[in-house]
Amino acid sequence: MSENISLLFQKVQEDEALAEKFKSITNPDEAYALAASLQDGFTKEEFISAMEQLNSGELSDDDLAAMAGGSQLTDATPISISASGTVMVASAGAV
């Protein structure tokens, strides 16, 4: 996973208001637009791929550590997009 996407996940994880914005989004295009407005340096395809990795549990320990700012996450996922396009974000207190 790219460093820029990891930085995005960190921002969302640390900001409950931002996490709520992602929770309200049901369209992957809208999710990408918001993500791109917060952090540059990744394509829509890279963003969608990262969301698919989150949903499938395919992230490496290094990816998880980067998203958590160096601490290991438990089963919480900062951001994910379901197959139906629903964006889900764990609140900052959940990880």
pLDDT at 89: 58
Q: Which of 28, 32, 38 is nearest to 7 (CA)?
A: 38
Instruction: Give the whole-angstrom CA distance, residue 92 versus residue 15.
Output: 6
pLDDT surpasses 90 at 59: no
pTM above 0.75, yes or no: no
Q: How many domains does the chain have?
A: 1
Does residue 28 or residue 87 have the better pLDDT?
28
Rg for the chain, CA atoms, rounded: 12
Range of the structural domain that residue 80 is part of? 3-94
Confidence class for position 45, pLDDT limits 50, 70, 90 = very high
Average pLDDT of span 39-48: 93
Across 3-12, 57-66, 77-86, the highest mean pLDDT is recorded for 3-12
For tokens 């900001």, the residue is 15
CA quadruple 58, 31, 13, 90: dihedral sign: negative
pLDDT surpasses 50 at 28: yes
* Cα angle: 22, vertex 28, 30; to 5 degrees: 60
pLDDT at 91: 47
